[in-house]
Homo-oligomer: A and B are copies of this chain.
Amino acid sequence: MGISLKDVAARAGVSVKTVSNVVNGYRHVTPATRQRVQQVIDELGYRPNLTARHLRKGRTGIIALALPELGNPYFAELADAVISYAAGLDYIVLLDHTNGRRDQEVLFAQGFRARLIDGLILSPIELENEDLLARGNDAPLVLLGEREYEAPHDHIAIDNVAAARTATRHLLDLGRRRVAFLGARHGRVRRVAHLRLRGWRAAIAESPGAADGDELVAATDGYTRGDGAQAMARLLDSGAAPDAVFCYNDLIAVGAMRTLTERGVRVPEDVAVVGFDDIDDGRYCSTSLTTIAPHKQAIAQAAVDALLARLDGGDEAAQAEPRHIRPGFALIRRESTLGRPLESG
């Protein structure tokens, strides 16, 4: 197969361990020996076998990142951030997708790929609390995203209630009075979009003249542009007559804007739109999208740091109380609420 320590050792006339010491930068090696060994290493093109090293060390240096889907640019961008940050800390990221299905999420939480990975960062959608409690796996787990659990794991998420409230208040401040919420998932209004829906309600409750009927909450089947387009169509047909829409995420918002344009409804004059995620698409829509921008870099770093703290921090760190970390967010104001600036170029 390949060149092993043994080959290098034989050629350099030293023991296997000495070569290992050189490779790992162990202190007590004579400069002369080190140089000779290094030369043979370069000569033969030796590269350590990670598999063997990992077996011996009991750690693989691989962490898994399980996201619902990569097709959603938010997750793709987040994955990018996690991979880059982890690489800087000499960890390899194994990227997986769960399709947002409970059985797949359970699989990962239960330790799918156990012993191949040192730890897991999971962004769950359908996972239940009991699935986490029944976890028969010791690899550290960090949770990501809106859902909240009572299981003892670190959790990284922006303050979804505050963010949704900020977005909704922005619409109300512009004078809108019938602000709809798009994206509470069918049959699970309580659970999945819980926090963002709560933020929406809070902002509306604070604003005297604002309509707050349930007819302004439109469910979707999923989180794609198509779901947003359909839900927007249903909302318009229902006669709820919104003058603004706060969407669960940017994809839904883009889909909603598409339906609005198709029907000749002007954005933002007739209906203003706000999204959530700040994906790149939103910036280049023909009507650029106002949105909540979670600080993805900060989320990625917090998730990796939390995981590595448990991995590398020794026993006291591994046993420490679970932490809830809240990275920041910002409201990015664009044309879908402010309107098009006067001809600028």
Contacts and interface: CB of A to CB of B under 8 A. Distances in A.
Contact of A261 (B254, B281, B286): B286
Given A79-B70, A229-B284, A257-B286, A55 B55 contact: yes
A238 to B, nearest CB: 14
A142 to B, nearest CB: 19
Contacts of A69: 80
A80 B76 CA distance: 11
Contact of A113 (B50, B58, B224): B50
A205 interface: no
Interface string A319-345: 000000000000000000000100111
Contacts of A283: 225
A191 interface: no
A285 B83 CA distance: 30
A284 B225 contact: yes
Contact of A97 (B54, B83, B343): B83
B55 A52 contact: yes
Interface in A247-286: 254-255, 257-258, 261-264, 280-281, 283-286
A71 B77 contact: yes
Contacts of A15: none
Given A58-B1, A92-B94, A47 B114 contact: yes
B115 A47 contact: yes
B50 A115 contact: yes
A269 to B, nearest CB: 14
A262 B79 CA distance: 32
A202 interface: no
A290 interface: no
A266 to B, nearest CB: 11
A88 interface: no
Give the residue among A47, A49, A80 with the most B Cβ atoms within 10 A: A47
A95 B97 CA distance: 11
